[in-house]
Every structure is written in C-alpha cells, then in structure tokens.
Amino acid sequence: MISQKKDLSDIPSRRSFLNIVGTLAGSLPLFACAQEERISQPNIVLYFIDDLGFADIEPFGSKKNRTPNLNRMAAEGMRLTSFYVAAPLCSPSRAALMTGCYPIRVGLEEGSWYGVLMPGDAHGISADEITLPQILQRVGYSTACIGKWHLGDQAEFLPTRHGFDYYYGIPYSNDMWPSYERWNFPPLPLLRNEEVVGEVKEMGDQAALTRTLTEESISFINRNSGGPFFLYVPHAMVHWPHAASAQFADRSPGDSYRAAVEEIDWSVGRIMQTLGELNLDENTLFIFTSDNGGDRSADNRPLRGYKSSTWEGGMRVPTIARWPGQIPAGTVCDEVASTMDFLPTFAKLVGGEVPTDRIIDGKDMSALLLGKPGAKSEYDAFYYRLDAVRAGEWKFFGDGRLYNLRKDIGETVDVAQQNPKVAARLRKLLEQGRKDLSTNCRPVGKAEGPLRFLIPRPGKKGAEAHSRVHMLGLEPE
C-alpha cells in the first residue's frame, strides 16, 4: 500500500502558535478580542471531487449510488442546481477556484503543451496571483490543502507557496502514473508539504487514497479545532482509474466507479461526524462540489455532454452547501453561481479583502447561500470558456445555437430562429466576453531553472531521469 514517512500532526497549528505568542506577550485584552473574532469567523471545509457526474449522488437524482451522508448534508443545507465550474478540465477549473477568475485570465486555460498541466510542466499558478487561501491567511485562518493539487508540480507552484500552511496529497491527476500505458509518465508521488513521503505504485495504493486523505483531513480539523480554519479537500477520486477500499469495493463487485462514489460519501460523513464531535457544526460552512462534469463512467443526466465539453454536462456540477443555523435547511437555489465566487464570498464572510488591483470575475454569492429573500445571481453573463455564454435562462453558442435552459436543460432543441433578438443579444455578450478574456489577461507562472520530476524516472540518470518525452516520441516545447 502507500508508503509514507512519519506524520507531522504533533506540530502546533499556525493559529495555535499565534495564540501562544499572544499569551506569552501578556496581552490579555488582545487575546480576548482574538477569541471573540474567532467565534464570528466560520471554519470552511471545501470538498472538490474529481469528475463527479451531475446525477452520481442521490440528492441530484442517482438511483444507483448510495449516498446517505450527502442526503443528510442536502437535508440540512442547500442544493445549488445551476452551479458551475469555469472550465471542464482539471487544471483550469482549479485555477479558477484559487484565483476567482476565468482560467484564461490567469494564463491557465491549459498547460504549456497539453490541455492540463502535466508532470514536469513549465507552467503553473503565478506567484503574482492572490489566492483564496492567502486572503484567509491574512485574517488569521489556518489553511490546508489535502488531495490533488494540479496547478503545477515545480517547487514554486506547490500549495505551500500559494497560501496553504499544510499540504498532503498528489500533485496532479491519479492517472498520471507509469501504469497508464498511453503515456510514459514518471512515478506518482505523495507529498507532505514539499517533501515526497510516498508513492502511488499500484491499484491498492489508488484504493487507499480516499481513506488516507479523509484521515489527514480529520487530523487537520482536530489540530485546528480552536479555529478558524480553511480545509480544502480536492479528492483524487472519482477520476479514472477508479478505486475504493475493500469496504466499498466488496459492496459493489465489478463496479469500481460506484464504489469510489460511495466511499466519497463515507468521507463526507466522517467530516460531519468530526465537526459534530468537536461542536463545530454551527460554526462551519461545508461545501461539496466537483471540479467538472463526469466522464463517460458517470451519470450526467439530465445534462448533455461530459467533462472536456462546454455542454452543461461538462461544466454544471452537483453542489451542496451546509452551515447549520445560517444556510436554510432543505432548500434549493437555482440561481447561476460558480466556483469563482468562493473567493469573494469567503472573503465577505470572514472579513477578508478582495484584491482591487486586478479583475476578479467571481461574484459574492453570500446572499444566495444564506437564503436572503429576493437574492439573485450577480452574473449578467457567464462564459463557458470562449465557446458559449449564459444569460438568465438562455445559453448561446458562438456558432449560432440558442437553448432555453429553463425549458430544455438537456440542450436538445435549438431555438435561435424562434428568438432572433435573444440570440443577437447573447451574441453581443459573447463577443464582449471574448474580447475581454483575450486581452485583459495576466501572465501564467513560469518555472525557473531546469524542470524536474518530484520522483526521477527509475533507472535513469541526469537529464534522462527527468525527460518529458512521452510514448508518442514527442518532446514538449
């Protein structure tokens, strides 16, 4: 199974250290204020599942996968049914979440030579970006990323350089390993902060990932129960290759995808159990969503398309938000919102500051989450990459197709001819968006120095140990 070096859980949290310093300084009034501030600032847990289909969980219509914990989460919180990611692929979607921007605006619409960032990629998230966890750090939050990062694997791109106090997980997708015969991938490392502490070598290691990441997450919560904390859990599953521990694999013989989904549900339950045991429920915002639509193993009904596409099935994702006493229980929000909104929304909720020296595309969705009467989406236009735009109930593609998503969520009937004025209005919005997103962009991060894998290729030396030539014999530029 996954081999690891010793855990660092005995190291005091960042927040605990600051409290110790404050106490030693004898500043009792200041310490009391800090305690008061802590109560008012919610802890935030953000689950970011990989490639989950829209109808893969029971609260969004699954008749196959058993998800009792997500059922409970939805019953105690809110389902967001028009919630989007800003790209239908791993790296650009994560870039949008971290920066509050469309990925093209921060140079991460794709990797340097492929649609996503690859091992040893020269590109990654720029050091000049102000990330969501950095905003939270500035107002006293302890921050952790536990799971799949996929915003660059060179040292300057790692989570600990971009606002996370603690990191544990894999640097990119779980299929980027030597067992994937299509590519000549290097070994898949498991990191703690910036140190390689293990390797995902076999399917047994893949099967252990969800449980291992869940245990790490619980450990972080326990270490930081005094709060406030931000826990970002971008699970490796249910990305292919699908795997789950024996407890779930044995319940679904021959269906590794179902087993993986149900173990994710178990993970959600363990987090809620931990929050309850620590009396943190009412002071914790817990959000569950996916990085893009599901692949062809998933159930995306009633949406059209899958990941990688700009159909609804590629970018509309199942999302649940729970915050007892704050988010109305058992509610549904069908207003347009997106992962880009997490940055301004969390900043608003915790008293942080949104950068004003750059364009931030995300909107404050706190009124939607809190169920404020009359709350509406702040999006006049939401862009599906540069392919399409949504405005209200209408979605328009650049080739002239128009769909009414309220009446036709499956995008089956083109109604452009029947609604020429609507089509013309949305065409103009799409043209404006394309112009803006093609010109008002910031530079992508570029690695300094020789590109290296976190684990060199076995049996190779020097530059050959870090060669990026894949099986097709093409050397990336």
Catalytic entry in 101, 145, 150, 162: 150
Question: Does the active-site annotation cover 441?
Answer: no
Neighbours of 376 (CB within 10 A): 10
C-alpha–C-alpha distance, residues 54 and 85, integer Å: 12
Q: Which of 90, 101, 145, 333 is catalytic?
A: 90
Q: Is 90 a catalytic residue?
A: yes
Cα→Cα distances 172→151, 191, 221, 252, 420, Å: 8, 11, 24, 27, 44
Q: Which residue's structure tokens are 């040893």? A: 120
Residues known to be catalytic = 90, 150
